[in-house]
Amino acid sequence: MSDLRITSECPKCGEERVQVGYEQSELIQLLRTGAMIDAYCMACDEHWELSVEERADIARLLNK
């Protein structure tokens, strides 16, 4: 099972941050159940929830 490279924009600094540590199977499960997907910016030490648009992007990647 390969890791999927997902990114999310940090609400604090506005930079696209790569989110590591999510496996593909885990993301599929989170999307299916509607559970929140947590994102993190190391520079700001900020946590946030992925937006609906970003979730849709991930779903598209997973359906490839």
Comparing CB distances to Zn ion, the nearer of 1 and 42 is 42
> Which lies closer to Zn ion via its Cβ, residue 26 or residue 46?
46
Question: Of the ranges 7-15, 25-33, 53-61, which one interacts with Zn ion (CB under 5 A)?
Answer: 7-15
Which of 6, 10, 50, 58 touches Zn ion by CB under 5 A?
A: 10
Tokens standing for 24? 């593909």
Alpha helix ranges (H) inside 1-64: 24-33, 52-62
Tell me if 31 contacts Zn ion by CB under 5 A.
no
- Residue 15 CB contacts under 8 Å (≥ 6 apart), including other chains: 9, 41, 43
Name the amino acid, one letter, at 33: T
Kindly list the residues in this chain that would bind Zn ion in the complex (CB under 5 A): 10, 12-13, 41, 43-44
